[in-house]
């Protein structure tokens, strides 16, 4: 994946929005959140619960993925704007061997404690099946700020410990996906 082309696609599909996965729910007319476990339980405690988490991720991803190829963006962090190979996301190096640096985002501008998020992108084949090890790490909160997308960035998928945020190309597509998995939605009025 060419980082410059990916940035161009981002600017085309998601103008004015940062490349930070946890901030994307600021697009309320295209965003929906699903919980990974019944009763909004956050962390799986048994293999049966891991199976539910992965089944829900796979159900949503299967409805999104058209080509079985996705982009996976994972984050590394530092106090400088310069990415280094050693800053690649810990815990996913073995899963995202071909990851290349895409972009760096200032996430904390406080003088003396500046913090940067370095985004690395990989192309993954055989999705959603190949994503299961990654999604399990996310469920255990061993890694965070992962973003999964189709190669044209038409949709974005942010798995987190407890569920998934999905951003779709239109309100109608968001509403259709929401309707298919209504029982996985939050009961909170804001959808969180």
Q: Could you please report the per-residue DSSP string of 52-84?
A: HHHHHHHHHHHHH-SSS-EEEEEEEEESSS---
**Number of independent structural domains in the chain:** 1
Within-domain flag for 189: no
Q: Specify the pLDDT at position 135.
A: 95
pLDDT digits (tens, 9 = 90+) for 64-86: 999 889 999 988 888 888 886 65
Within-domain flag for 96: yes
Within-domain flag for 82: yes
* CB contact at 8 A, 73 and 147: yes
Residues contacting 164, CB < 8 A, separation 6+:
33, 34, 36, 56, 57, 60, 157, 158
Range of the domain at 76: 3-183
Within-domain flag for 192: no
Within-domain flag for 154: yes
Task: Print pLDDT tens along the chain (192 aa).
Answer: 799 999 999 999 998 788 888 888 878 899 999 999 999 899 999 999 999 999 999 999 999 999 889 999 988 888 888 886 655 556 666 677 778 889 998 888 788 788 888 999 999 998 888 999 999 999 999 888 999 999 999 999 999 999 999 999 999 999 999 999 999 998 776 775
Within-domain flag for 188: no
Q: Specify the pLDDT at position 88.
A: 57
Instruction: Quote the pTM value.
Output: 0.92
Within-domain flag for 142: yes
């Amino acid at each position: 994946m060419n980082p410059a082309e990916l940035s161009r696609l981002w600017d085309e599909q998601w103008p004015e929005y940062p490349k930070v996965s946890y901030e994307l729910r600021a697009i309320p007319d295209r965003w929906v959140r699903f919980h990974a476990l019944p009763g909004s339980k956050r962390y799986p405690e048994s293999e049966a619960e891991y199976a539910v988490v992965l089944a829900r991720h796979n159900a949503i991803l299967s409805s999104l993925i058209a080509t079985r190829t996705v982009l996976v963006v994972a984050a590394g962090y530092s106090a400088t704007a310069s990415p280094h190979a050693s800053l690649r996301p810990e815990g996913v190096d073995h899963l995202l061997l071909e990851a290349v640096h895409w972009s760096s985002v200032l996430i904390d501008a406080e003088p003396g404690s500046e913090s940067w998020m370095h985004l690395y992108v990989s192309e993954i084949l055989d999705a959603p099946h190949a994503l299961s090890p990654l999604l399990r790490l996310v469920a255990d909160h061993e890694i965070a700020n992962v973003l999964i997308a189709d190669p044209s960035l038409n949709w974005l998928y942010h798995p987190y410990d407890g569920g998934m945020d999905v951003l779709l190309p239109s309100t109608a597509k968001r509403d259709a996906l929401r309707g298919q998995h209504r029982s996985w939605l939050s009961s909170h009025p804001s959808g969180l």
